[in-house]
Amino acid sequence: MRERVAMAYQYRLEKVGKVFGRRQIALARIDFVVQRGEKVALIGPSGAGKTSLFRILNCTLRPSSGKLWINGDEIESLHGRRLREVRRKIGTIYQQHNLVPRLKVIHNVLSGRLGRWSAFRSLASLMRPLEVELAWSALKQVGIEEKIFTRTDELSGGQQQRVAIARVLVQDPEVILADEPVSSVDPSLAASIVNLLIDIGRDTHKTLLMNLHSVDLALAYFPRVIGIKNGVALFDLSPDKIDDRLLEDLYSGHLPPSDQEKVAHAESNALAYP
Amino acid sequence: MRSPTLSRIPKSEKSLFSYLFALLFAVAFVDGWRRAEVNPLVFFDAENRGNLWKFISGMFPPDLSSDFLSLMIRPALETIQISVMGTIIAIAIGFPLGILGTRTFSIGGILNEADIQGSPLRRTWRFSAYFAARGLLSLFRSIPEFVWAFMFVRAVGLGPFSGVLAIAVAYGGMLGKVYSEIFEAANERPLEALQSTGASKLQVFIYGWFPQVLPNFVSYTLYRWECAVRASAVLGLVGAGGLGQQIEISMRMFNFHEVLTLLGILFVMVAAVDYISAKVRAML
Ligand SMILES: Nc1ncnc2c1ncn2[C@@H]1O[C@H](COP(=O)(O)OP(=O)(O)OP(=O)(O)O)[C@@H](O)[C@H]1O
Ligand SMILES: [Mg+2]
């Protein structure tokens, strides 16, 4: 009986912490449970640990402390082929897009299929793209299908971001982790992309976790919002229970984004492909 | 976690290492000058000057008779063929070993963290592959191609095949070492993203690693091919075929005017290879 309950969890985190090097604490202690099919937004100041959390949730980093279950599997026991199978079912949209700049858009999109393809098929597809229609329809959903054969480093930041989203659509995972998926597009496009991801999540019963710097988007579109600060979850509530005081707490002690920081942010985005 | 004061800017640590390194360099230079018997004055010594002059004036005029030139076509082609075959086999040796010898591919970095942690067997296996590859590459390139040629001439006999093998092994070691440095320099972020789709290491390599480093990879390989053309000429001196063997014969016969012709042919060949590789690089 307990097993069956555990299986309904998509994620279960128990005191998860992550320390980089000796003393750079990215996550102090995170506990939460995400049910399958749930839609959760994560908000919090820059450097709070949101990206680090996502990299743990997609099995790139291992927690330095605590335990994490994905779909009932304790991740410490996952290696090799089983690890890859778990990863295949988790699609990540990275904050800095993380595309291969020299490849054409279509190959970056189709790289979402790698978990299903053999090494030989993958190589063959680089010579002559397989499943072109799949890539085309994914790009159409994000509105840049005409760029399908363009080299990826010739795209604008917002276009690259949408290629990264198309890659996840093609991957067709059970979980989508979207780390700032709308940071490089204009506000109206941002809302429609958040909408798109939520729709896709609903229609195909995917679990969706999204990091957002825009509190408005988070509160407007998500039934559950987790506030992260200094590596701990400050609150974990439905949006109607989140008031200005909570938000002030979440972002206080943190300098309001000065011009200097905006410049730094722009630079860090530009540095995605040094 | 972080102090919000802006006034305390963390200092980047200045290490003693850079000073030590400068000192070490100075000592090595002075010591090297003495031990290697560096002495620019030899060129002013009358007897040395005479010998040099005899050698140089003996080279002129170069032997441009059609007889001699037509005889040299075959060795010249042979030199090119040795360098091409040698480089191709060197790539076949250096490429896989270079991949395994890349730290971020085999044992470290973001692509291995989750897979290795908590699995001593995997860790041992990866480390052994990494160090085996590195060790082989060091062995291959620490022995000069000249010495390899010497050994292969004993093993498989006089002729171009010894030259091919010598270049293959020595250059395989050099290519592999530099390939691993080139791979190491690839941006890991796209690789992380590829891996997170469930791709295997090999697939990550095909889609993310190789495309990123392709220009460097090609241009270094072409550069090595240029070197191989020159090297295959030298290897002829120990009997491994090609132009070098002709140079050696002419030298032994004191036919210095033939030597000059041969050097001229070599110059033209290297320049041609240089031209071709510049064209290929421009295409990338
Ligand atoms: N690879 C790393 N090595 C060392 N420190 C790291 C590393 N990655 C992240 N950190 C540190 O961990 C902390 C949390 O970083 P993280 O990227 O998770 O923040 P974030 O919440 O995603 O911030 P943002 O909203 O700006 O994207 C930061 O202080 C950062 O400097
Ligand atoms: Mg982040």
- Return the CATH number at A224: 3.40.50.300
Query: Do A114 and B194 make contact, defined as CB atoms within 8 angstroms?
Result: yes
Quick check: is A85 in a domain?
no
Q: What is the mean pLDDT of chain A?
A: 85
Question: Cα–Cα distance between A200 and A271 in angstroms, integer?
Answer: 31
Its pTM stands at 0.81
Query: Is A100 in contact with B194 (Cβ distance < 8 A)?
Result: yes
How does pLDDT run across A62-74, given as a tens digit for each residue?
898 888 999 888 8
CB A184 within 8 A of CB A161: yes
Give the torsion through C-alpha atoms of A171, A172, A176, A177, to 10 deg: 0
Instruction: Provide, rounded to the nearest whole percent, the portion of chain A with pLDDT above 70.
Output: 90
Instruction: Determine, yes or no, domain membership for B266.
Output: yes
Over range A193-213, report the average pLDDT: 89
- A202 CA → ligand 1 middle, Å: 30
Query: Contact A95/A157 with Cβ under 8 angstroms?
Result: no
Q: Is residue B87 part of a domain?
A: yes
pLDDT at residue number A270:
47
A89 to B2: CB separation less than 8 angstroms, yes or no: no
pLDDT at residue number B13: 61
What does the pLDDT read at residue A255? 52
Per-residue pLDDT tens over the stretch A242-263: 888 888 888 887 554 454 444 4
- The protein residue whose alpha carbon is closest to atom 6 in ligand 1 is A20
Query: For position A41, what pLDDT does the model report?
Result: 93
| Cα-based torsion angle of the residue sequence A11, B198, A273, A163 in order, rounded to the nearest 10 degrees | -80
The residue-averaged pLDDT of A8-27 equals 86
Note the pLDDT of residue B98: 95
Q: Does B192 touch chain A (CB under 8 A)?
A: yes
Tell me how far the alpha carbon of residue A49 lies from the centroid of ligand 2, in angstroms.
7
Check A62 against B114: CB less than 8 A apart: yes
pLDDT reported for residue B135: 95
Task: Say what the ipTM of the complex is.
Answer: 0.85
Tokens 């002729």 belong to residue? B159
Chain A residues touching B199 at Cβ < 8 A? 84, 111, 114-115, 122
What is residue B195's predicted lDDT score, i.e. its pLDDT? 93
Q: Judge whether A217 lies within some domain.
A: yes
Specify if B253 maps to a domain: yes
Q: What is the domain range of residue B228?
A: 67-283
- Which residue, among B93, B115, B120, has the nearest Cα to B104 in the 3D structure? B115
Ligand with minimal distance to A231 CA: 1
CB–CB contact A171 B115 (8 Å) = no
Establish if A43 belongs to a structural domain: yes
Does the structure show a pLDDT above 80 at A160? yes
Across the interface, do A84 and B212 touch by the CB < 8 Å criterion?
no
Contacts of B193 in chain A (CB under 8 A): 92, 94, 98-99, 164, 167
Distance from CA of B201 to the nearest CA of A (A): 10
Instruction: Determine which of A112-121, A163-172, B34-43, B213-222 has the lowest per-residue pLDDT on average.
Output: B34-43
In a domain, A204, yes or no: yes
pLDDT value, residue B3: 46
Count of structural domains within chain A: 1
How far apart CA B266 and CA B284 sit, in angstroms, is 28
- Asked if residue B247 belongs to a domain, the reply is yes
**B135 within domain boundaries:** yes
CATH number, position B141: 1.10.3720.10
Which residues of chain B lie closer than 8 angstroms to A92, CB-CB?
Answer: 193, 196
Mutate to test the interface with B, among A65, A114, A116, A209 (most CBs of B within 10 A): A114
| Nearest CA, atom 13, ligand 1 | A26
Q: Is residue B140 part of a domain?
A: yes
Q: Ligand 2 centroid vs A274 CA: distance in angstroms?
A: 18
Nearest neighbour of B118 by CB, restricted to A76, A87, A103: A76
Within a domain: A16: no
Quickly state the pLDDT bin for A201 (edges 50, 70, 90): confident
Contact between B193 and A92 (Cβ < 8 Å): yes
Q: Amino acid letter at A58?
A: N
Q: How far apart are CA B279 and CA B284, in angstroms?
A: 9
**Contact (Cβ atoms closer than 8 angstroms) between residue A103 and residue A160:** no
Domain of residue A128: give its range. Answer: 39-48+90-272
Measured between CB atoms, does B208 come within 8 Å of chain A? yes
Round to whole Å and give the CA distance between A196 and A194. 5
Distance from Cα A50 to the centre of ligand 2, integer Å: 5
Q: What is the pLDDT of residue B12?
A: 64
Confidence (pLDDT) at A6 = 47
The answer to whether residue A73 sits within a structural domain is no
Q: Is the peptide bond before B61 cis (omega within 30 degrees of 0)?
A: yes
- Number of domains, chain B: 1
Examine the pLDDT at A103 and tell me if it is beyond 70. Answer: yes
Give the per-residue pLDDT at B29. Answer: 86
- With a cut of 50, list the residues of chain B below it in pLDDT: 1-5
**Cα first-last separation, chain A:** 52
Cα of A12 vs centre of ligand 2, distance in Å, is 21
Average pLDDT value for residue range A155-179: 91
Structure tokens given for B229: 């053309």
Ligand nearest to the CA of A27: 1
Assess if residue A231 is contained within a domain.
yes
Span A205-217, average pLDDT? 90
In a domain, A10, yes or no: no
Say yes or no: B124 contacts chain A, CB-CB below 8 A. no
Which ligand is the nearest neighbour of the Cα of A60? Answer: 1
| CA–CA distances in Å: residue A95 to residues A52, A99, B204 | 11, 11, 20
Pocket of ligand 1 (CB under 6 A): A 20-21, 24, 26, 44, 46-52, 95
**Confidence at residue B33, expressed as pLDDT on a 0 to 100 scale:** 81
